[in-house]
Structure 1
Amino acid sequence: MMKKIFTISLLALSLAGYAQKIKIVEGSLAPLKGQKSVNTQFTYDDMLIGGKSIPEKEYIEKRKKELDEKEAGRGDKFEQAWYADRKERFEPQFRELFAKHSEMSSVDEKAQYTLIFHTTRTEVGFNVGVASKPAYIDAEVTIVETANPSKVIAKITILKALGYQAMGMDFETGVRLQEAYAKSGKEIGKLIAKETK
């Protein structure tokens, strides 16, 4: 029991330097007042990986090579999971937490407004049991009129949305990043709820 408490305390201290920041940088969320739903779209164009800002394509090729050197075919499995996780894990988790905290549906293609979530940076983190580093994402969120996407009503930036599990069972990259998208959905949902009261 003491070991578990110590581990959780250590995790909390190590996360202190990873505080998430969310900020409205343009426009206003006021037009969303009274809306029961929004459409959500996700983009990953020109995404950078890690603190060294490696382009995504370069990162994937390097990681595939590393994994294939350990076990033939493992690199292809990694690449398939890297893209599949977006639709299977990240986006559903974002939508679920966004809907819960904004009290708006997030899967309505006919909604008046569309929220475009653009991931600009991904830190995959790691967890090898005795040592770990949380995953996180940075993103730009643009809210536009669905019928006229050039009409932007607000822009939001998110820095270091953390992805980790408190009990330390986040050994898989996809699991860690899923939590980062869940955290982003929660915080954006809360921000919209607060700004549209």
Structure 2
Amino acid sequence: MSGPTLATAQEAGAPQLLPYELPDPATLERPKLDFTPTPQDEADFDKFFYFHREGTSFPEAYADVRECDALASGSSIYLGGNSGALAGATAQYGVLAAGIGSAVGSLLADAIFGSAARRQQRRINLRNCMGFKGYQRYGLSGDLWKKFNFEEGLGRKKEGERDDALEIQALVASGPKPTAKELGL
């Protein structure tokens, strides 16, 4: 017996994915990439960077950027929950109080530490994926980077904003070769 087909999924009312139509790259505004890095900028190149690969078309770069974004965004790090403090609080104050305290403490720890860990993990995964695909990495100032990139730590970017940023990242990745120094992955 075969599995469900697209037709049976549509009949069952399953949501349908619409094809994504890339814009003409000529209609996109290329971001400013040239700047004179300060020592602080250089110290932050592990956070603020962009990719480029010579001879890559815009659609190919978009497919690569989107795939690597999906892989990098799929990772999650959540802290909290398993500690001796929970066992001690349960014994002294009861299950409900310990559970509430643990939940609040875990939420606070995750908001403080988990967000930064997720952002760092996403950057590393993105660098590994794009490097595997043959892209070079170049440093950028934080202000310039924020104009066409995003960070996720406490939640996922809305798809429209995400798609807009990924289009510009693909434009840069497939555009003229940067004059800046290549960074290692």
Greater per-residue strand proportion: 1
Pick the structure with greater CA Rg: 2
Higher relative contact order (CA 8 A, sep 6+): 2
Class of the TM-score when normalised by the shorter of the 2 chains? 0.3 to 0.5
* Structure-2-length-normalised TM-score: 0.34
Structure (1 or 2) with the greater helix fraction: 2
